[in-house]
Structure 1
Amino acid sequence: MQKEEAIIIGAGPCGLAAAIELQRIGLNPLTIEKRNIVYSISQYPTYMQFFSTPDRLEIGDIPFTTASEKPSRLEALHYYRVAAQRHQIRVQAYETIKSIEREDDGFVVKGENRFGEPRSYFARYVIIATGYFDNPNVLGIPGEELDKVSHFFRESHPYVGMHVAIIGGSNSAIDAALELERVGAKVTVIYRGESYSSSIKPWVRPGFEKKVSQGLIQMRFSYTVTAIGNNDITIQGPEGVELIPNDFVLALTGFHPDRNFLTQTGVTMEAEGYPTFNETTMETNVPGIYLAGVVASRHEANEIFIESGRYHGNKIADHIMSKRD
């Protein structure tokens, strides 16, 4: 069994930031990632731009310079890759952690690589920085299992000329609608809210509202999708039940933490469904197990959370240092 002082599960921006902070107190943590470094960002829409300015996404005292005011997905991938390399973070990619069990003065961490071969570690501290991206909020309606339904949007080209329904009213939904309209898709945005979300990027909303007023994008407030068929969807709202033509559905309804994995480690869940942790130290109700990044965001699970989640490593390092003292 491989012995480590600390293991970080997840090599997203906040997991990498935590690794750097642990290095600064003399630890050399092993970061285990079930896919590639900053996987969630690699899955963002191809031409996405962040809401945040680059300085608010920096980690490890490495400047994040960009060609424009808002960094792109490609620039972010390059930045975090370089940050990991410069700080010589030990990243073990394509390995999935299956369980964390208390043993003596630490934890036995078990997983497997992409070939199904078992891996086993012992660590005194475990930092869970797994994010939400693998756990979309499902609709729980008939037809959601169809191939035409996706909880992710990458790029608009595959949808040229298609009837596309977007479920949700967040930034991701608005950005997707604009990209799709530009390539000639027939877009309907279905949002259960009564008006536009206050979180929409202020420089994006006017252009989106103009497209709606021109009839180029259909916006259906206070509506929900109740069923998905091969060639149509059923929606329900203030004007009753409607059947509208549809080729593809993008259910951009957000994400949630892997509750089963967390509860199996002994981490309790609050009434709202979010894990229990101390906001000052980031330690969970299980001493020695910490949270970092979007898994500790409680309500908002998007790229903006990197701004504050990158500092979780500072809190964790300070707490571990106090224990060692």
Structure 2
Amino acid sequence: MEVLDILIIGGGPIGLNCALEAQKNNLSYLIIEKGTIVNSLYNYPLYMRFFSTAEKLEIAEIPFISTAPKPGRQEALEYYQGITRHKNLNIHLYEKVIKISKTNGLFEIESSKSTYYSRNVVIATGFYDIPNMMNIPGENLPKVKHYYSEPYPYAKQKIVVVGSSNSAVDAALETYRKGAEVTMIIRHSEISKSVKYWVKPDIENRIAEGNIKAHFNSELIEIKEHSIVFKDENGNINEIENDFVLAMTGYLPDFDFLRNSGIELQGDCLNPVYNTETMETNIKNLYLAGVVCGGKDTRLWFIENSRIHADMIIKNILKMKYF
């Protein structure tokens, strides 16, 4: 029976970074990823640009060369997948981890294809897989999309965009510029302050001139086949014609998987319990890395500020191994 030093769940940038640190320190490791390399980035909108500059997305001190001040999705895919090829990282793709259990200090990891054994496990699964549902009638209709990739399918259509974050603003602007009639339903009183600074004036100006309609302090309450129903800031119920709903309401980590792995979750945000100096959870030798650490507060961690997790984890594993 082969026993790995580290099994890493998730082949995103932070999972890759953990593997690179393990490789550098001659630790045996395996990444298991349920999709392709950096699967979440692959599923981002086709023309998305990062808020961070290229150097802040780098891992393992490998230069990220970008032709633009803010790299886009395709450049990031080339960078991270290129590293995986060049460094010959040990990664299994299109394989989903189903269960983690621990007996006598050894982890058994059951996947959709096999069973593995490891002394340490790192969960770096991100949060992009589970949409934050609105839980309203009609949300399961085919016209409702929780993921947005490109604007072309929505040309000449009546679009409702739910939300005011970066993804919602990008969807609203791009579909508007391809000829969609765009209405935004926004729970808050203004466009989110976290929206990219070079994009925020654009959406605010389009709203001010009336080319994109926006209902602030409003809530979508029902989706019908050819219309949507929402409550406005005055409490009035309104119904408007609609072809598609782009529900850009955010995404969540797989909390059931974390719980079933034995990780304690605390507070309203379901924050996972972990040591902030080592990233070790309440389960000895089980670590968290990347944005999954933030629970429901998915804006707390991102590539730029969670790259350090890999170094913290590997240092602690080496300390436990040799001392």
Q: Report which stretch shifted further, 298-307 or 94-103.
A: 298-307
Aligned partners of 2:185, 2:92: CA distance in 1, in Å? Answer: 40
**Partner of 1:262 in structure 2?**
258
2:32 corresponds to which letter in structure 1?
Answer: I
Give the counterpart of 2:199 among 188, 198, 204. 204
Q: Which amino acid aligns with 1:270?
A: Q
In the alignment, structure 1 residue 229 sits paired with structure 2 residue 224:
yes
Instruction: Report the Cα distance in structure 2 between the residues aligned to 1:250 and 1:56, rounded to whole angstroms.
Output: 30
2-side partners of 1:57 and 1:298: how far apart?
22
Match of 1:168 among 150, 158, 163: 163
Q: Distance in 1 between matches of 2:6 and 2:233?
A: 54
Q: Secondary structure at the match of 2:312?
A: helix
1:282 partnered with 2:284: no
2:174 matched residue in structure 1: 179
1:296 aligned onto 2:293: yes
257-266 vs 297-306, greater mean Cα deviation: 297-306
* Compared CA separation, residues 279 and 175, structure 1 to 2 (3 A): same
Contact (CA 8 Å) 2:49, 2:73: kept in 1 or not?
Answer: yes
Superposition CA RMSD, Å: 1.4
Within-5 A mapping of 1:211-222:
211-222=206-217
CA distance in 2, matches of 1:249, 1:123: 44
Question: For residue 40 of structure 1, what is the amino acid of its counterpart?
Answer: S
- Gapped runs of 5+ residues in structure 2? none
Q: 1:173 to 1:303 in 2, by over 3 A?
A: farther
The DSSP-based 3-state class of the residue aligned with 1:99 is: strand
Deviation at 1:90, TM superposition (A): 0.4
Q: Counterpart amino acid of 1:90?
A: N
Which residue number corresponds to residue 21 of structure 1?
A: 21
Shift of 1:274: 2.4
1:35/1:303 CA distance change after superposition, 3 Å: farther
Question: After the TM superposition, which parts of structure 1 deviate over 3 Å for at least 4 consecutive aligned residues?
Answer: none
Secondary structure at the counterpart of residue 158 of structure 1:
helix
Deviation at residue 87 of structure 1 after TM alignment: 2.2
- Mean CA deviation greater in 132-141 or 301-310: 301-310
Q: Is the 8 A contact 1:109 1:120 kept in 2?
A: yes
| Closer/same/farther in 2, CA of residues 289 and 278 from structure 1, 3 Å limit | same
Partner of 2:242: 246
Q: Residue 252 and residue 227 in structure 1: after superposition, are their counterparts in 2 closer, same or farther (change >3 A)?
A: same
Residue 106 (structure 2) aligns with? 106
The residue number in structure 1 matching 2:83 is 83
Which residues of 2 match residues 300-315 of structure 1 at below 5 A? Answer: 300-301=297-298, 305-315=302-312
Query: Is this contact kept in 2: 1:50–1:303, CA < 8 A?
Result: no
Query: What SS does the corresponding residue of 2:272 show, helix, strand or coil?
Result: coil
8 A contact 1:4–1:30 mirrored in 2? yes
- Matched-pair identity in %: 40
TM-score by length of 2: 0.96
TM-score by length of 1: 0.95
Matched, 1:271 2:274: no
Counterpart Cα distance in 2 of 1:192 and 1:298: 21
